[in-house]
Amino acid sequence: MIIYHSESKCKSDFGDRAKVMQRAEEVTRRGEASCPLCGAGLRVHGCYRRHMRDGDGKRHYGWVAQAHCADCGSYPALIPDFLMPHKHYEAVVIEAVITESEREGEPVLSGCPADESTMRRWLRQFAERGARAVGWLGCVLCELYDRHVSALELQGKALLKQLARLLREIRPCGGIIGGVNVILTRHNHGFL
């Protein structure tokens, strides 16, 4: 699976199969997505149906493109950054729950239509994967961009704020979780 930076119009085009395919063709043609297993170029293979829930809990149906790697035979999904892998809610909804919980210092499980158990799972998974993501982003920043952020600057900050600070050095636009997932999947380090 590869998460790519989507433009704002991509979210509104989520339900239009032809536009999703066209955007996927552009992403692969420009080389923004390469095979996560072998690094080779990809060709768009097709689409599959997917749904997402917004901040009101409303379900939206749309499409996710799937690519093919001729070198190793894999079929990675090309997931736009407003979606989270294996999650039904939009990335901004999950990010809002995490932000609110980090701000309050304890889990805040209100204001979101998701079940309390779902939000607790998001927080638990973010706590497990967030620290790893900070480390991987720091490595990518140093190795590929020859830049770094001082550990002292990150010390004492909540995980989401650490990720936001590192992300600003690499790619200053978009949501934090979506942006981090773009970088992590592009460099074969998983996702949040």
Q: Which pLDDT belongs to residue 172?
A: 58
| Residues sharing a CB contact under 8 Å with residue 31, sequence separation 6 or more, in sequence order | 41
User: Nearest CA to 163 among 142, 153, 177, 182?
Assistant: 177
Q: Domain-by-domain residue ranges, the chain?
A: 2-80, 91-186
What's the rounded Cα separation, in Å, for the pair 1 and 178? Answer: 14
CA dihedral 141, 147, 150, 155 (to 10 degrees): -20
Number of H helices, E strands in the chain: 7, 4
pTM of the model: 0.89
User: Which residues, given as ranges, of the chain have pLDDT below 50?
Assistant: none
